[in-house]
């Protein structure tokens, strides 16, 4: 009787250990899924020359890369995507693209000439050129610049701003409503 009771006790203990380990593995798998951004261009690689803008001495085709994101934070109701040149000689960098109110079910921007077609409902804010659109890289001669693409997961379906807003105003609301962000950096120059 003691022997069978001991066996049942060992069996129960072993079953508890296996079950606990399984739960821990499932929880670990879910917690290691990180909000991430990918592109058809590798992170920390250089923009090909054809991706460059066609102004300010550059002669590219103004092509935006394809962007895709995954493992979005729970509660995401919309996205924004920004392209920022942190090395621009302005004292405050340069915003090359600002898109917001991208619906929550969207997980890609197709890219293409002049930025490509945006998803329905998405709004393009003004850039630092004072108008909406996509403006590809065109660093000053002799200098390499880092261009940071960021996708922002937001807790609202629409930002409370008008079309034609400045990048600074969009950024203000991104900070207020951000659930998470994922970035990648692409390089341009020296040319």
Q: Are residues 5 and 65 in the same domain?
A: no
| Predicted confidence (pLDDT) per residue in 14-41, tens digit | 444 444 444 344 444 445 799 999 999 9
Q: Are residues 75 and 48 in the same domain?
A: yes
Strand extents, DSSP E, the chain: 36-39, 63-64, 67-70, 78-85, 94-103, 108-109, 112-113, 123-124, 145-154, 178-188
Q: Please report, for the domain that includes residue 80, its CATH number.
A: 3.90.280.10
The predicted model gives 81-91 an average pLDDT of: 95
pTM score: 0.82
**Does 132 have pLDDT greater than 60?**
yes
Please enumerate in sequence order all residues whose Cβ is within 8 A of that of 176, keeping only pairs 6 or more positions apart, or say none. none
Q: Are residues 41 and 90 in the same domain?
A: yes
Q: Are residues 154 and 63 in the same domain?
A: yes
Helix (H, G, I), strand (E, B) or coil at 29: helix
Note whether 155 and 14 are within 8 A (CB).
no
Q: Are residues 46 and 102 in the same domain?
A: yes
**Does 88 have pLDDT greater than 80?**
yes
**Does 11 have pLDDT greater than 70?**
no
Average pLDDT along the chain? 88
Structural domains in the chain (count): 2
Q: Are residues 82 and 168 in the same domain?
A: yes
Q: Are residues 39 and 74 in the same domain?
A: yes
Domain of 78 in residue numbering reads as: 34-188
**Does 13 have pLDDT greater than 60?**
no
Q: Are residues 23 and 41 in the same domain?
A: no
């Amino acid at each position: 009787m003691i022997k069978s009771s001991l066996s049942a006790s060992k069996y129960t203990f072993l079953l508890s250990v296996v079950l606990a380990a399984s739960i821990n593995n499932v929880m670990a798998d879910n917690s290691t899924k990180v909000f991430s951004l990918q592109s058809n261009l590798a992170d920390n690689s250089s923009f090909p020359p054809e991706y460059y803008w066609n102004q300010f001495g550059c002669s590219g085709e103004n092509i935006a890369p394809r962007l895709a994101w995954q493992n979005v934070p729970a509660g995401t109701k919309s996205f924004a995507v920004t392209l920022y040149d942190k090395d621009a000689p302005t004292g405050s960098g340069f915003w090359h693209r600002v898109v917001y109110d991208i619906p929550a079910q969207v997980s890609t921007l197709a890219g293409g000439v002049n930025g490509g077609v945006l998803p329905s409902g998405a709004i393009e804010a003004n850039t630092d050129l004072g108008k909406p659109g996509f403006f590809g890289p065109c660093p000053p001669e002799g200098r390499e610049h880092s261009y940071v693409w960021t996708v922002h997961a937001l807790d609202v379906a629409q930002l409370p701003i008008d079309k034609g807003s400045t990048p600074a105003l969009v950024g203000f609301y991104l900070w207020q409503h951000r659930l998470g962000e994922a970035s990648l950096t692409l390089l341009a120059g020296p040319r």
